[in-house]
Amino acid sequence: MSAEAKNHPFHIVDPSPWPFVGSVGAIALAIGGVMYMQGASIFTILPGFAIIIYTFYVWGRDIVREANAGSEHTPQVRHGLRMGMVLFIASEVMFFFAFFWAYFNATVPAISATATGIWPPEGVVPFSTWGLPFVNTLILLTSGATVTWAHHGLREGNRRTLKLGLALTIVLGLLFTSLQAYEYANASFSFTDGIYSSTFYLATGFHGFHVIVGTIFLMVCYFRSLKGDFTNEAHVGFEAAAWYWHFVDVVWLFLFCAVYWWGSAGYIPAG
């Protein structure tokens, strides 16, 4: 169908098996996950997980092929793709909104009868705000700058800047994830220690998961840039990855200010 002459600027996509395959992966992951939660081995989630990863790979590969073929991704189609990414990020913002709500529900007595106004709760030793959390803030902010630098390089046709900027951003992303893992490993409170650790680990944990996804997205862009993908004009994949990275960055700023900074201001060291 796509081979025939078109009278409109839109992309009529050929039939694809991946949506169906991906849904099979989703239901397999759900059932495997429930079995795991009921006490089965962690390996029960592997089949579903593998199918989903495979679906992401082949689906993404198809999109890249269509993009590189050139004729289908017209300016109007690219506009739609960017719009879709913005909307997806908007929904992600609302996902984090729920975890921030849970956090403020536990900390602000004016909105919840169970919040005592004492935060962190007695016995919890929070992280020192201006130690590792602040270093991580600087790392993520710097990575936001390097990805913008890469974008400028791409727009000006400077492929060296593009590759270097992307590589730096990826390294900074991996560094952030490593430091976050180090922080988790050295926390004075565990996952099951009550509402403080619940809000802390789910909010920062989902952020960390998004950092990992964003890093992978940037890696895909890096390898595509090595292959010579993206032009000065048309590089929706890069833009989507960069926007996603900035979104992850902004969520971190809110987490740093609310959870790490304001959230440990009421801490009184014992003795």
Q: Of 222, 235, 224, nearest to 165 (Cα)?
A: 222
Task: Pick between residue 146 and residue 197 the one whose CB is nearest to another protein.
Answer: 197
Question: How many of the other CB atoms lie within 10 Å of CB of 256?
Answer: 20
Distances (CA, A) of 101 to 94, 193, 263: 10, 19, 14
CB 82, min distance to another protein, A: 9
Q: Where do contacts with another protein occur on this chain (CB under 8 A)?
A: 1, 4, 6-8, 10, 12-20, 22-24, 26-27, 30-31, 33-34, 37-38, 59, 76, 79-80, 83-84, 87-88, 90-99, 101-102, 105-106, 112-115, 121, 191-192, 194-199, 201-202
By C-beta, is 94 or 185 nearer to another protein? 94
Q: How far is the CB of 146 from another protein (least distance, A)?
A: 28
Per DSSP, helices labelled H in the chain are 18-37, 46-69, 75-107, 132-155, 159-185, 195-227, 236-255
Nearer to another protein by C-beta: 30 or 138?
30
- In 3D space, the residue among 215, 193, 191 whose CA is nearest the CA of residue 202 turns out to be 191
CB 45 to another protein: min, Å: 12
Spatial neighbors of 62 by CB under 8 A, at least 6 apart, are: 16, 18
Residue 124 near residue 188, CB atoms below 8 Å: yes
Distances (CA, A) of 23 to 26, 39, 48, 64: 5, 24, 9, 21
Of the two residues 171 and 202, which places its CB atom closer to another protein in the complex?
Answer: 202
Structural contact between residues 247 and 82, judged by C-beta atoms closer than 8 angstroms = no
CB atoms within 10 A of CB 49: 16
Measured from the CB atom, is 71 or 114 closer to another protein?
A: 114
62 vs 229, beta carbon nearer another protein:
62
Angle, CA 260 vertex, CA 259 and CA 264 arms, to 5°: 90
- Closest approach, Cβ 91 to another protein, in A, equals 5
Min dist CB 232 to another protein, Å, is 23
Radius of gyration from C-alpha coordinates of the chain: 22
Shortest Å distance, C-beta 6 to another protein: 7
Of 114, 89, 94, nearest to 198 (Cα)?
Answer: 114
Rounded to a whole number of angstroms, the minimum distance from the CB of residue 157 to another protein is: 28
| Cβ nearer to another protein, comparing 1 with 268 | 1
